[in-house]
Amino acid sequence: MTNVLFIMADELSTFGVEGDRSPALTPTLARLRDSGRNFTAAYTPSPICVPTRAAIATGKYLYEIGYWSSAEAYDGKVRGWGHRMQDAGIPVTSIGKLHYRNQSDATGFDQQIEPIHIPDGIGWVRALLRNPLAPYDATAEMAAMIGPGESDYTHFDRRVTAEACAWLRDAPDKPWCTFVSYLSPHYPLIAPEEHFKKYNPKEFESSAETVPKHPILAELADFFDHDPYFTAETRGIARAGYYGLCSFLDQQIAIVLEALHETGLDQDTLIIFTSDHGEMLGARGFWGKSTMYEASARVPLFISGSEVTPETLSAPVSLIDLAPTICNALGVDSSGFSGVDLMHTPDPRRTVLSEYHDGGASVGVTMVRWQGTDGTDWKYVHYAQGSPPQLFNLSADPGEKVDLSESDPETVTEARTRMAALLDPEATNDRAHADQAALVERLGGRQKLLAMEQWNFTPADSR
């Protein structure tokens, strides 16, 4: 392989991919999954856009790089895989959403085509106001923007597809790396008619689900209070819109892959597909992301190409692993990253980490995933400052219904030991709060930030 085509969705849960307990019709993604390496336990470094994209860029976890939240975006100061491509003289291009600080920072791309960055280089400042939490009064918008039709987001994604196809048809005659990044199926949950009508909203109607009895989850649900604005009927319409956007995304990727095939580049190109995080879709009373439940924190991850042997791998992996994988695929130095090369067999005993230091949670949330020696899939979630933890046996309880944190002290001890080998979650929480408090002051103070416009999603024209 001499090229890398890295395709990313936004807010695509594994449950939005055909074949994984989902009604979504995504045949292109299914072919990518079945023709290559399918990682069934891939996790986001943070269940929200901006910090995850910094972690992917740098191949490091949040606690290592300090890009904590939706108002602390990647600025290139921590060098990543893109910089290494540039050092090696390999053309590296982005097409679509980046969600970095701005277009002028040296973030490792020779060219940014149709980029989206955080608004005004500042981002979503409610993310910084966590001690105490600020009110968030823009949540009704999600339930109002649902159903069949077009949105700025679908228009944007069509442009991304067109630009990606044009780029491939004029690709350089040397090894290259190109990042193609879509907005779908991120809300607004408005799907083009041809895709929306593939689903019957009535099949997805439901009453409101109960938020788990946990102080920080209750805090998140009160902050991101999208669900009270839904009815049983509109929950069904919104879910049909989400699955319609999954099918729309699948169609756009099919067009790009056809262009790759038409140019003959498919024979020499490693294709990586993933999403930055998932989508709760009303489960447990949550819409969007921001929790460590599987629908939010676990993501699809496929690697395919003409020389890739199909294989399904259940060992936990992280999106920080993409940095060394991309570098090694192009023969570039991959030392110093915290992830591992996904073209090698992943270690099932490895501990994979996810963190949340963003809006709606007054304390840091840290999750570790691993497989036990008997093959059991474990997940442990730590909530800072004394809030109770959660422990789930995902092998026996894939729906995460039974919290074992009080009944299985031996596994809790193992989880804490694994977490401590990576980071001190309390010290990390303190660092994040301190960094965010300092940034609040640099931006003019809490009252100034409270007066800023609130919004639910980044505008498609943010540069």
**Each residue's pLDDT tens digit, 274-325:** 999 999 999 999 999 999 999 999 999 999 999 999 999 999 999 999 999 9
Strands, E assignment, 98-172: 111-116, 146-148
**Sheet hosting strand 390-393, strand order edge to edge:** 352-356, 365-371, 377-383, 390-393
| End-to-end Cα separation, the chain, in angstroms | 33
Burial of 210 (0-12, 13-18, 19+ CB in 10 A): exposed
Residues 62/355, Cβ–Cβ less than 8 Å: yes
Give pLDDT, residue 303: 98
Give pLDDT, residue 18: 86
What is the maximum span of the chain, computed from C-alpha positions, in angstroms? 60
Quick one: how far is CA 365 from the chain centroid? 16
Of 277, 281, 285, 427, which Cα lies nearest the Cα of 354? 277
User: Distance (Å, rounded) from C-alpha 352 to C-alpha 335?
Assistant: 19
User: Distance (Å, rounded) from C-alpha 457 to C-alpha 462?
Assistant: 11
Q: What is the DSSP string of 226-267?
A: -GGG--HHHHHHHHHHHHHHHHHHHHHHHHHHHHHHHTTGGG
Pairing of strands 3-10, 177-185: parallel
- What is the crossing angle of helices 152-169 and 232-262, to 10°? 10
Residues 384/429, Cβ–Cβ less than 8 Å: yes
**In what helix (H) or strand (E) does residue 157 lie, and over which residues does it extend?**
helix 152-169
User: Distance (Å, rounded) from C-alpha 38 to C-alpha 308?
Assistant: 11
* DSSP 8-state code for residue 1: -
**Coil/strand/helix, residue 352:** strand
Residues of the chain with pLDDT under 70: none
> Do you know the residue count of the chain?
463
User: Distance (Å, rounded) from C-alpha 160 to C-alpha 248?
Assistant: 13
Pairing of strands 3-10, 301-304: unpaired
80, β-bridge pairs: none
User: Distance (Å, rounded) from C-alpha 64 to C-alpha 44?
Assistant: 15
Give pLDDT, residue 132: 95
Residue 115 has a CB neighbour count (10 Å cut-off) of 20
CA distances to 43, 251, 293, 299, 354 from 47, rounded to whole Å, are 9, 25, 9, 10, 8
Q: Look up residue 24 and give its two tokens.
A: 């979504």
Residues 88/332, Cβ–Cβ less than 8 Å: yes
302, β-bridge pairs: 38, 273
Pairing of strands 92-97, 42-43: unpaired
Quick one: how far is CA 354 from the chain centroid? 11
SS3 content of the chain, % helix, strand, coil (to 5): 35, 20, 45
- Specify the amino acid at residue 213: K
Q: Helical H runs in 180-231?
A: 193-196, 215-223
Burial of 386 (0-12, 13-18, 19+ CB in 10 A): exposed
Strands, E assignment, 284-364: 298-299, 301-304, 311-313, 317-318, 352-356
Cis peptide before 388 (omega within 30 of 0): no
